[in-house]
Amino acid sequence: MAETKVQQRSQRRFKSDHKMRTEARTLLKDTKPKGRRKRLYSWEEIPEWQRDNEHILHGYVLETKSVSECLKSLLYLHNESVNIYTHLIPGICFLLVALFDKFAIKKFPSTGLIDYLMIDFFFLGGFTCLIMSSTFHCFKCHSLEIATLGNKLDYLGIVALIVSSMISILYYGFSDNNAFFYGFSGLTLAFGIACSVVSLKERFRSREWRAYRALLFVAFGLSAVLPVIAGIIFYGVRETWSRIQLKWVLLEGVLYILGALLYGIRFPERLAPGYFDIWGHSHQLFHVLVVIAALCHLTALLGSYERFHKALGTF
Ligand SMILES: [Zn+2]
């Protein structure tokens, strides 16, 4: 009997010691990363699914499987940091301008609700694109499933930007021609749907299709040439130049194409792998060019809007 009691006591002590050791281990595990510089990983160390650009050799955040770890990655520098912030900051600015449009957009006596709707449509399209993109770059280290979903939403964001850019300026370019406005807006929507399908369908999402997918998006952008040609035939070069502020639209097109080209050929990191891991690789240049191109479009859109209302004021 006494022996059994001793055994029970010793078992209880063992259990209590075991519990304490487990708690101590958990505590140690929880506090370990704190106060330490976050470790980044190399191309060889990351899992296959995280590998996309073989010219970027270091600076990877290893698969986190944790939303909070992904959010914490906003606080230290890694090879997605520039991609995140180049779209997060302008994205928030776009949203703020849309929310405070009454203060941000110059007002004319003829300015009405439709003007705010059209200009805000562009701002919200831009916001969607930039936020989808920064969210994707922040959470792509979570897991393959989240990275795949984020990448699809990233492409949908680009579609939203192109559709909203085109329709908003078509409204002012063809303010007196409903057939052209609705016709080209319909074409833009059709292209937008096609690009969305290509972005969402698994078959077109493989690395081999990367360049072709980029090309389809360029074609979507280039479809903007069609209303310009129609405008030149219908109104003449000078009138079209002024109606849609063509010089800004042309500059916008050049910047988008340049961005897609650098992204497609992975310049400059392909020339010196490892040198552009954190700063200056093709995806970052692409992001910056997208933002500058969107600002060119904004300049064209506001110029077009002002021209339209100034012309109304002369009658
Ligand atoms: Zn991106």
| Rounded CA separation 79/134 (Å) | 13
For the chain, percent of residues with pLDDT exceeding 90: 70
Is CATH 1.20.1070 the right assignment for the domain spanning 81-313? yes
Local confidence band at 98 (pLDDT 50, 70, 90 cut-offs): very high
Rounded distance from Cα 241 to ligand 1 centre (Å): 32
Cα-to-centroid distance, 83 and ligand 1 (Å): 6
Nearest CA-CA partner of 309 in 167, 120, 123, 105? 105
CA 166 to each of CA 59, 140, 199, 227, 280: distance values in angstroms, whole numbers, following the listed order: 37, 30, 20, 10, 30
Predicted pLDDT of residue 303? 95
Q: Where are the domains of the chain?
A: 81-313
pLDDT in tens, 37-55: 688 999 999 999 999 999 9
CA of 116 to the centre of ligand 1 (A): 29
Best CA proximity match to 224, nearest among 173, 289, 282, 274: 173
Please give the pLDDT value at position 25. Answer: 41
258 CA distance to ligand 1 middle (Å): 15
Q: Is 107 helix (H, G, I), strand (E, B) or coil?
A: coil
pLDDT of residue 87 exceeding 80, the answer is yes
Is the pLDDT at 121 greater than 90, yes or no?
Answer: yes
Residues placed in the known binding site for Zn(2+)? 137, 283, 287
pLDDT at 223 over 70: yes
Q: Is residue 12 exposed (0-12), middle (13-18) or buried (19+ Cβ within 10 Å)?
A: exposed
For 51-64, what is each residue's pLDDT tens digit? 999 999 999 999 99
Kindly report the pTM of this predicted structure: 0.82
Q: 17 versus 57: which is more confidently predicted?
A: 57
Report d(CA 24, CA 26) in Å as an integer: 5
